[in-house]
Structure formats: structure tokens, C-alpha cells
Structure 1
Amino acid sequence: MKEYTVTPNKDATTWFLKVENVAPFEEFDKQSSAIEAGMKIAETNQPSRLIIFDEQNQKQEIKTF
């Protein structure tokens, strides 16, 4: 199962979409944009999981596709 994560940078000014929690795959200005892109890529590559982190880098939500 592939795992994708949406995480903030250290200042929570940009958001990263990462594949397998390695290097950033894409960078976004808004968390909502990163989540939307993450959901699309996770749905395309099923079975997969999208883990969303908040501004304090705490797990906020996990979505399974």
C-alpha cells in the first residue's frame, strides 16, 4: 500500500505532498490544495493511504483509498 502525506514546512507557510514520507513530491501554498492533490493521487494509485498533518505537525486525519 502506497502512503502519501500532507505536511507543513517548519513555519507552516507552505504544504508538502510527500510519497512514502520521503522527499516532497509537490509544494502548495494552502493545505486544502495539498489535500486535494493528495486525494487525487491516492485514489489513482489504490490501494493507498493519505495522512494529513496540521500546522503543529500532528496527525489530523488518515484517509484510505
Structure 2
Amino acid sequence: MKEFSVVANKDATTWMIKAEDVAPIHEFDKRDDAVEKAKELASENQPSKVEIFDAANELVEKQVFE
């Protein structure tokens, strides 16, 4: 299962999408934009899941695409 994560950068000024928790593959100014793109990527690469973290790096949402 492919994994996508939405996380804030160190200063919480931008939001990144990471694939398989490796280097960022996309970067956005707004968290909502990053979440939307991550869900789109997960939908296109099923089976997959998206984990969304807040600015404090706490998991706030998890969604599975099968």
C-alpha cells in the first residue's frame, strides 16, 4: 500500500506531501491545498492511504483508498 503524508515544514510556514515518508514530492502554502492534492494522488495510486498531520506534527486524519 502506497502511503502519502501531509506535514508542515519545520516553521509551519508551508505544507509538504511526502510519499512513503521520504523526501517531499510537493509543497504548498496552504494546508488545505496539500490535503486535496494528497487525496488526489492516493486516489490515483490505489491501494493507498493519506495521513494528515497538524502544525505540531500530530496525526489528525487518516484515510484509506482501496
Q: TM-score, normalising length from structure 1?
A: 0.98
Structure 2 spans left out of the alignment, 5+ residues:
none
Spell out structure 1 runs of 4+ moving beyond 2 A: none
Partner Cα separation in structure 2 for residue 11 and residue 59 of structure 1: 17
Q: Deviations over 1:11-44 (max 9, x none)?
A: 1100000000100000000000000000000000
Quote the residue 1:37 is aligned against. 37
1:1-65 to 2 correspondences below 5 Å: 1-65=1-65
Q: Aligned residues, how many?
A: 65
* Identity level (%): 51
Q: TM-score, normalising length from structure 2?
A: 0.97
